[in-house]
Structure formats: structure tokens, C-alpha cells
Amino acid sequence: MSTMDKLDSDLHGLLPFEQDEVSQAYLTYLENGLPESSATKKNILVVGCGIAGMVSASLLRKAGHTVTIVEANTRVGGRIKTFRNTPEKTYFEDSSLSGEAGAMRIPDMHKLVQYLIDETGVEKQAFLNRSISKTDATSDQIDNPVRSDGSNEGANAGVPKGEIILPPATGNNFLHVNYRHVDRSVYDAKGADVNALLNYNLAENENVQSSILLDKAIGGLRRMVEEDPKTAWPKIIKDYGEYSMRRYLLEFVESDEHFSENAIEMIGVIENLASRMSYSFIQSFIELAIITSETPFWLIKGGTDLFSTAYFEQQNLDSVTYRNQTLVDLYKDTKTGQIRINTKISKFISTQAAQDQVNTDLLSHDSWDEVVVTVPFASFRTVHVWPEFSQRKRQAIRELHYDAATKVLLEFRERFWETDNNIYGGGSNTDLPNRYMYYPSERMGSEGGGVMLVSYAWADDARKWDPMSHYDRFCYALENVAITHAIHSKDATYEERLAAQQKIKDLCVFCPETYMKNQENIVGAASVSWMKNPYAFGEAAIFYPGQLDLFHKSIISSEWENKAHFAGEHASLKHAWIEGAIESAVNAALLVNENTLPKLS
């Protein structure tokens, strides 16, 4: 394990932006371009046209380098993908609706992506991780959130200066676990009898909300990080880098007592850790600081892909991008030292097959001075590389863990969660296969329908959806939405429960009976498995125990005597976030441009 006493600059992504001199420097480079350099202008290959590939390519072009982008998919944006109606595919009955297959929320604290979003001019609004009142949901603060003045009075109380003041939570969203159905406000109430509400059979000293139990376990570490992150993080990595989340919770002791298995189960289900219990404690600890009901998020109105597409067009990258070209070979010519590749056509499209073959031939005869690889390592592992990279890089490409994530979205003709359940934004949590359900933050309080993310599952929770056909996913997901939201008395008969559930099902555009024999043309639903995606090979890099210390430096290091560089969310410590991809892209561009890398003080 690492023995560092002060945080290494390679781990800057663990710090909040105001203490991260590296990311602060990155922001100035996005604003003003890369620093001047004595390096000769180069011919650069960029592999992948997700946001990391786009940003590295645009920075290098502005610095005077020539860039070629090779993308396996027929579209750009990578894991930024939005479901919307096209001439080829109708997803939704209401063509004005859309739903996110990939990135759906952008933390306000992520300043690099916020800058690029603002530069493209796309519209954004608040994304709600908690349910709020109709009055707040339909107010101007959704489009123009108020920021704290630092007075610590009134609405500013407890909100640091400059941070967004979130509308108060109503708690009208649900917990539906252990066959118990509870309003979040009832569960969150001070002194609530959690055993009676959720039936977890907790010991007397554990009979409190899961958030309180989790804070007992990690609150001390959180406070260490808040007080002095540059010295706290090295100690936490040293002490717990080899721990899984489960091991940490099992070994946590307070007053000579360990958590019971029932308490760990509840923490897993309610805090969305159950499917990642075997993953790195450090990884979960990082994520727990980001995805909370108190974290301000944004969304892109009309779909996140409007941002990635707008950036691609703004930077005029279409003229240098070869799509539908899957990388097969990446090698360094032993005679010239130049980078060479071979590609194959990803998908046969009759109307462009001839041009695709021309591009394949052209790329195989071209050469470049250096390469920036931005595709996931899980995907890059299928590429033949010669000469070989360093041993630890090869191991990282082979072993870096990529997590599964599966989403199911359904369209409803009425926003029943608002009109019947008084839920505006946020999400509900269940131990049914759906796990997490998110209500659309866009168009809250409007007439007509909407698209609900009826299942967002990670890891093993996601893999249980993956063997199903899309049709079966929609059927099972709809069943569980109906169970979770049906309105009936607690002592309702089985028949009365089914009747109440049917009212929910009748509002869904997707009808199982209608599409049973026409599963290729389903309208009113969409689903994606990122583990089954042939370009992504998973949702994001999520460390197993020990992988941060073992792999991170090797992941971000250059190869082939600084001719091969690497970027993407996996080459950052903000896994699964657009911000991490941008950080890594700026870093790779600096390496190509032969600039001195910024350092932590």
C-alpha cells in the first residue's frame, strides 16, 4: 500500500474544487486554451468520441495540433445517450418527451462540466434528488435556483456561501421494502420506530434510520476529510484501501458492539449499497459524498445528449471524426516510430457501406505522432496492441472492474405520481427488482404525461435484469411500479390491491397485451443495459478493493515513451461522472502539448 503522508497530485480528484489547484488550473485551460509550449505541432489520433475524446481533441486543435478522431459507434457522446423519437425509432407516444439512457444529473460542484455546458448555451434546470412541494416545483427556482449569501439565516441556514439553496423536502416519496409501504417523511421523522415501519428486526440500539447507522460508521472519516482532506485521504487509503464496503461495516465497532447482519442489510437496501457491498470501500465512500438528497444537481432540458452534441458541433469536430470504425489494431511502427491502426466497420449500413470501407482503408494507411485512448479499458481490451504496454498497465486494462447498470423507462399518459401521490421530483426506493425509481424533474406540474425512470439498478441488481428481453423488462417493471404506487387501504384484500394496481397500469402507454406479439415495435418504453453495450462494456469503472492504489497511477500514465496517453472517466477519481472524463481529457492534452502538469500545493 501507499505510504504517502500528503495527497499526491495524481489523486487531486478526491478534493473539493476550491481546494483542488489542479482542477482549478484545468478550468483556466478550458477557458483560455492550453499554455504555450515549445513542442512541435503534432499529428494526433484520438480513440473514442465520448466527452473525453471531444475535449482532448478540441484543446489540441486549438493549440495548433492536427487531430483525427476514430469512433466505433455511429453517434458521438459515448455514455451520454438520450432516448427520443427519431425517423428510425419511436420510443414515446408523446414525441416531445425524452428519457436518459446514460448521464442524467450533473452535480453543481462539478465546475468543469458546468463551464462547458454554459459555453454551449444549452438550457439547464435543477434535477431533484428529493421530492418537493408543487409550489416549489412550479416556481422559478427550478430554472434559476437561489444561492446562499452566507448569512446562515432563514433559507440560508446551513448552506455555505455560493451554494444552491434546495427547496425543502416533503418526504412524499416512498420506501417499499419487506412488504411494508412507508412515506419517506414518516420514516425520516425523529424518533421513528424503524422496526415497526420496515420490519428489519433490528436490535434495540440499531432501531434508527439507516442514514444514522451509516453516519456512525463513516461519520468520523467524513469529518477528517472535511477538516483536512490533503492529509486525511492518504491515511484513509492506507488504512482502508483493501477493504470492501461489507468488510468495513462488519469490522466497525462502537461501544464494543458491531453492526448486526440485519442492520447491514438495511443500510445496503436503503442507502443503495447492497449491490456494491463487495466493491471498494473507498469507491463507495467517495460516492456517498456526492449522491445525497442535499447535493444540488442540474439536468439538461430536453436531454443530456443536447449538450454533448452541441459541444461536438461548436468545436467543429465532425470534419475530423471517423464514425462506425471499430479499432482492431493499435501499434507503433518499428521503422518510423509512428502510431498506426487497423479498424473494421462496426455496423453494416447499406447507404454508407462504400464510404465506410474507404475510411477503413484510409485509416489503415495513415499514421500519427501520438495517440490519446479515451475508450473504457473493458472495451480497449479487445484491441491488439504492439509493442506491449508496461506490466501494470496491461493488468489494469485486463482487471479494472467495470460495473453493470441497467435502466428501464416507461411513459405514462398522466403524471399520476404528482396528481395522486403528490410527488414532485426525487425518487422512491424499493427492495423489489426495480430498486430505485426516479420521477421526472422536467415539466413538473404540467398537463399531460411524462417518462418515469422506473428502474435504475447497479451491479448485481442490474445483472438480474440483463437476461430479460426488453419486453419482459417493461412488464416486470410496470408490475412493480403499480405495486409501489397503488392507492388502497392497508387491510385491502388481494383483489382490491390488484384493482388499485391496474389503475396505474392503465395509465402506461406500454401495454403488455398489445405488444406481446409485436415486441420489435414497442412504444411507451425504453431500456438500456450498459454491460451489454458493445462499445461501453459497462456503466463505469468502479474499483474493487485495492484497485485504487494498485492501478490509478498506471491507468493515467503514458506509454510508448510518451506517445500513448489515456483519458476517460476511468482515468480520474470521479468514476461515472462527466467531470472525471473532462479532467482526464485536459490532463492528456497537456501531456501531448508537453506542458508542465499542475500540482497540488
CA distance readout (Å), 365 to 341, 343, 362: 8, 11, 5
361-392 in b/e form (b: 16+ CB < 10 A) is eebeeeebbbbbbbbbbbbbeebebeeebeee
Q: What's the confidence (pLDDT) of residue 2?
A: 46
Terminal Cα distance for the chain, rounded: 23
The DSSP 8-state label assigned to residue 560 in this structure reads T
With CA atoms as reference, report the closest residue to 331 among 382, 400, 389. Answer: 389
Exposure pattern of 413-428 as b/e (b: 16+ CB <10 Å)? ebbbbbeebebbbbbb
Cell numbers 402506461 correspond to 508
Percent of the chain whose predicted confidence (pLDDT) is above 90: 95
Contacting residues for 587 by C-beta, under 8 A, at least 6 apart: 26, 556, 567, 571, 597
| Overall size of the chain counted in residues | 601
The C-alpha atoms of residue 405 and residue 233 are separated, in whole angstroms, by 28
Q: In this predicted structure, what is the pLDDT of residue 5?
A: 75
CA–chain centroid gap for 467, Å, is 22
Phi-psi region of 576 (alpha: psi -120 to 50; beta: other; left: phi over 0): left
3-state secondary structure 472-495: HHHHHHHHHHHHHHCCCCCCCCHH
The Cα–Cα gap between 430 and 498 comes to 18
pLDDT tens digits along 505-557: 999 999 999 999 999 999 999 999 999 999 999 999 999 999 999 999 999 99
The predicted structure's pLDDT at residue 292: 76
pLDDT exceeds 50 at position 1: no
pLDDT interval class at 155 (50, 70, 90) = confident
Extract the C-alpha cell encoding 519.
415486441
Q: What type of residue sits at position 288?
A: L
Instruction: Decide if 30 contacts 43 (C-beta within 8 A).
Output: no
Is the pLDDT at 92 greater than 90, yes or no?
A: yes
Is the confidence at residue 16, as pLDDT, over 90? yes
pLDDT digits (tens, 9 = 90+) for 186-212: 999 999 999 999 999 999 999 999 999
| Confidence band for 291, pLDDT divided at 50, 70 and 90 | confident
Boundaries of every domain in the chain = 9-76+317-401+543-592, 82-168+405-529, 200-288
Strands (E), 48-107: 66-70, 82-83, 99-100, 106-107
Q: Is 272 left (phi over 0), alpha (psi -120 to 50) or beta?
A: left
Distance (Å) of CA 567 to CA 199, 261, 294, 482: 46, 40, 30, 42
pLDDT band, residue 4 (cuts 50/70/90): low
Strand partners, 67: 44
Judged against a pLDDT cut of 50, whether residue 146 lies above it is answered with: yes
601 pLDDT above the threshold of 60 = yes
Beta-bridge partner residues of 339 = 332, 368
**In whole angstroms, what separates CA 439 from the centre of its chain?**
17
For residues 496 and 578, give the distance between their C-alpha atoms in angstroms, rounded to a whole number.
Answer: 46
**d(C-alpha 170, C-alpha 173), whole Å:** 8
CATH topology agreement for domains 9-76+317-401+543-592 and 82-168+405-529: no
Q: How far apart are CA 508 and CA 158, in angstroms?
A: 41
Question: Looking at domain 9-76+317-401+543-592, which CATH architecture does it have?
Answer: 3-Layer(bba) Sandwich (3.50)
Sequential DSSP letters for 150-187 = S--SGGGTT--TTSB-PPPP---SEEEETTEEEEHHHH
- Does the structure show a pLDDT above 90 at 3? no
- pLDDT one-digit tens code per residue, 459-480: 999 999 999 999 999 999 999 9
Residue 416 phi/psi, 5-degree rounding, is: -60, -30
CB atoms within 10 A of CB 553: 15
Query: Residue 51's closest CA among 374, 321, 350?
Result: 374
CATH of region 200-288, choose from 1.10.287.1060, 3.30.390.10, 1.10.405.10, 3.40.190.10: 1.10.405.10
Q: Would you say 52 and 568 are in contact if contact means Cβ atoms under 8 Å apart?
A: yes
Q: Could you tell me whether strands 325-332 and 384-386 are parallel, antiparallel, or unpaired per DSSP bridges? A: parallel
The mean pLDDT of the chain is 96
Rounded Cα gap, residues 258 and 251, in angstroms:
7
- In this predicted model, what pLDDT tens digit does every residue of 325-337 receive, in sequence order? 999 999 999 999 9
Q: What's the pLDDT at 387? A: 97
| 213 grid coordinates | 447507522
Task: Write out pLDDT tens, residues 234-254.
Answer: 999 999 999 999 999 999 998
Identify the CATH number of the domain defined by range 82-168+405-529. Answer: 3.90.660.10
